Chain A
Amino acid sequence: MTRRRLQRYALPALALIAALLFWEAMVRINQIQPVILPAPSLIAATLVKDWAPLYRSLLVTLSITCEALLAATVGGTLIALLFARFRWIEEAFFPFAVILQVTPVVSIAPLLLVYLDSGGAVLVCSFLVAFFPILANTALGLSSVDHNLLDLFQMYRASRGKQLLWLRVPSALPYFLGGLRIGGGLALIGAIVAEIAAGSAGSGSGLAFRIIESGYRLNIPRMFAALFLISLTGIAIYLILSAVSYLLLHRWHDSARSRES
């Protein structure tokens, strides 16, 4: 199936290279000023030239995203377990989770800045958006257990703990991983949005702050360079979480297996 593989990897790579070449050519042929649209080569050069501050910002954004995602994963999973164990807690508190989810994070960010320092506000914002999909998916997974298997566990008089560990948790795993993949992307978005909202108020130094700062200085190539790093971070998060998902599910779950043809 080498032809299939070639098509799968080479085709998008070629398309990407073609798009970059087209962009480069357009800028050169039409002599577009860098302040309007910088060429890819200039963006790459800026990336190298300004690597030190950009790298510092990248680390800030990365650490906020990772911390928020970790907190959302732990928090979301624990609360989902609580929901699965005590129905009344779910009924009482699920609306809160929904309210937090449907309220756009951009509108919460300024409020958070009133109560927290900018670093804390960005972290909380990022956490809030990543939290819900993990909670909702895990809760759904924990309650979507095959009823016959539940009967089987009951028949062999399994304790609640064993039922949770050997039945509910593995059943919920694909749902949880789906939530984690969505949450990973959202954590980055939350971190960027909150930092942009914090903007002038905060002393932020993440990638979003670099974009705003470069915008004020009309340093458009640097803006693009920061943007490029944000995209790259998003792609990396997605790939890592997809790989984790594949490693955990590929032996048994339909989602991680290719269909026979």
Chain B
Amino acid sequence: MESAAVDSAAPRLVKLEGVCKTFNNGTVALTGVDLEIRRGEFLSLLGPSGCGKSTILRLLSDLTGVSKGWINWAGQEHELGFVFQEPTLMPWASVFKNVWLPLRLKGVSRRDAEGPVMDALEKVGLAGFAKSYPRELSGGMKMRVSIARALVTRPAILLMDEPFAALDEITRNKLNDDLLQLKCELDATVVFVTHSVYESVYLSTRIVVMAPRPGRIVSEIEVPAPLPRDEEFRLSKLYAERCRETSAALHKAMGMDTPKGASH
């Protein structure tokens, strides 16, 4: 019997209750979202375009506010790390300065930041590139810098918005493995937005499948295999089962995309 990777009794980190989000132009991005994110889990938000996956990340990171409902954090301070779909680096700044940015904005001097910045770069395997400029790096390396920047503040929760979608499969698989390794090392909570069924099953301890127009949660799938995982896991029965199950849930979610929601 495989043990559950994350105890469902693990302490709650944040809870979304009845969250609705309507944009200024009247588009209903999310409706009635209830979601509990537990400490230490790797949660994937999976769904077609326009189902509000990214909106959930923007709400969690306080970039936008809820229209209705609540977001309750356990504890006062919650340090966040955010990784965008693009590396989103400052092209005029060296790798070191890019990773230093979150600390610098908190008033940490260059000297005091040296340790944590080099540590973060080491974790993503780019310690030798501190002086390079983003232009000199490959797509995968830029994404690693972006991850290092998100990790440098030692966030309690790492929000990732389809971070590897633009990368080739080889780079993507490598980064998936490295991400799981990092997650375990740092004991971080990750919320990961993706389009890919296989990626979500490989990475997650729990998958939340969403449907569009209006964005809502339609099913939840647990993947009870310990982290980190490796190629062996891709060949396991559990992986195949969960892929099939998740794929079916996704199809169902897209099938629900009917004018039923026209009243919104």
Contact = CB atoms under 8 A, between A and B. Distances in A.
A166 B90 CA distance: 9
B82 interface: yes
B22 interface: no
Interface in B85-121: 86, 88, 90-93, 101-102, 104-106
Interface in A66-125: none
Given A156-B101, A156-B105, A149 B92 contact: no
Contacts of A154: 63
A245 to B, nearest CB: 13
B232 interface: no
Most buried by B among A155, A166, A170: A155
Interface stretch (A51-59, A136-144, A251-259): A251-259
Most buried by A among B62, B84, B105, B133: B105
B90 A149 contact: yes
Given A252-B91, A252-B92, A253-B91, A158 B63 contact: no
Interface string B45-84: 0000000000000100111000000000000000010101
Contacts of A146: 88
B80 A148 contact: no
B40 interface: no
B84 A148 contact: yes
Nearest to B61: A155
Contacts of A171: 92
B106 A152 contact: no
A157 B80 CA distance: 12
Nearest to A257: B135
16 contacts: A151-B63, A151-B84, A152-B82, A152-B101, A154-B63, A155-B62, A156-B106, A157-B105, A162-B105, A167-B90, A170-B92, A170-B93, A171-B92, A173-B92, A252-B93, A253-B91
A246 interface: no
A259 to B, nearest CB: 12
Contacts of B134: 252
A155 B80 contact: yes
Interface of B: 58, 61-63, 80, 82, 84, 86, 88, 90-93, 101-102, 104-106, 133-135
Most buried by B among A156, A158, A170, A171: A156
A254 B102 CA distance: 26
A252 B88 contact: no
Contacts of B106: 156
A155 B82 contact: yes
A174 to B, nearest CB: 9
Contacts of B90: 149, 166-167, 170
A135 to B, nearest CB: 22
B133 A252 contact: yes
Nearest to A159: B105
A155 B84 CA distance: 12
Contacts of A158: 105
A146 B58 CA distance: 16
A228 interface: no
Contacts of A156: 101-102, 105-106
A62 B102 CA distance: 46
A152 B88 contact: yes
A146 B86 CA distance: 11
A244 to B, nearest CB: 15
A155 B102 CA distance: 9
A153 interface: yes
Nearest to B161: A148
Contacts of A257: 135
B63 A155 contact: yes
Contacts of B93: 170, 252
Contacts of A149: 88, 90
Contacts of A151: 58, 61, 63, 82, 84
A208 B30 CA distance: 68
A211 B169 CA distance: 68
A154 B84 CA distance: 14
A167 B90 CA distance: 8
A96 to B, nearest CB: 31
A218 to B, nearest CB: 55
B140 to A, nearest CB: 18
A153 B104 CA distance: 11
A253 B90 CA distance: 11
6 closest Cβ pairs, A-B complex? A148-B88, A156-B105, A170-B92, A252-B91, A148-B84, A158-B105
A153 B58 CA distance: 13
Contacts of B82: 151-152, 155
Given A148-B88, A173-B92, A251-B133, 11 more contacts: A152-B101, A155-B61, A155-B63, A156-B105, A166-B104, A167-B90, A171-B92, A252-B92, A252-B133, A252-B135, A253-B92
